[in-house]
Structure 1
């Protein structure tokens, strides 16, 4: 098994690391993932629209920082994928639509990706896999494929980030749900975190388990009592 630093070492912390991670959400990175899927001319307007969405002012966590971290961690961990480019494209879209007042964000994001994939000539089977990859980030069931497992583990890697980054993430989530009265927010947030901590494994894939599991359990065990 490949030796990896603990999860905290896989998240950008220094300004240099953050700058490097920002390259993962560049036009060059966007063009590269489409090229890997056999599409010569990546849709520029879609890239620009995606970036606008990830920069919406109501997003405190589900924003460009989160997208950059996901793409950065996916590349660094490099867990086995059947179709890495499909996983990366699904990551670009997994929070493309995000409104904390709605419950269909993943569905609308998956539909957007399907429209873009169809318009750019991807075949029906590839489109189905991409759709399923985005939908699995609802985190309401076990991933059905190795690629879905990698995508889910990447999305959840934040739970195993350094204590400082996890604390920032926790504050960011509260900002996104600031319209919820604090007692109700604490109750619902506690339920979410407890469900993750109660899992036999938070991370399905061996490399993500090795990199993030211990730190994630420490972060969750520290955060949950504060929600009493």
Structure 2
């Protein structure tokens, strides 16, 4: 079946099979409807989870017997790491997060962050690699994660947390300076470096591609959210 990225809480996960990586998207928690993404290296079978958001039993069922190497937390907000402790306890996975958010994540979850990530760092998924894009504004340490499949014509796949959604950047809760920072960083580090074909996997809701969103960046700046 063709991957769409349209998932619902309690529904079936959506699976995209790339030549070197399999991406499984699931929605958890009826109130917040967070997305979590399980990445599996075709070569080695190693797995990485992006955002242990909630419903540990759902995530652990997804992980299965293959184990988990790393949980990457895209930012410090509570709805993106409620299942972090339970998933780490069950799998022994290490935790990675943007350096400016790492202490807050540990304070909120009692889980140590082993990999404090900065812009340009790389996180392995078996023989595959995720590149870290530091996108501050939604939180100081928000990160996006870029995967380019070398066997798929270099097509980019970008996991944006709450920094970029269909229709706009993430919330900055009335903080004008934070909004300006966020939209600038999204514009320069994402739209300024990646092609229209880049597939975007956000922290909530459906997916998009950069080409759909790019023409609207000036509108986002003008409206201020």
TM-score range, shorter chain: 0.3 to 0.5
Higher strand share: 2
Bigger CA radius of gyration: 1
Per the normalisation by structure 1, the TM-score is 0.40
Larger RCO: 1 or 2 (CA < 8 Å, sep 6+): 1
Per the normalisation by structure 2, the TM-score is 0.41
Higher helix share: 1
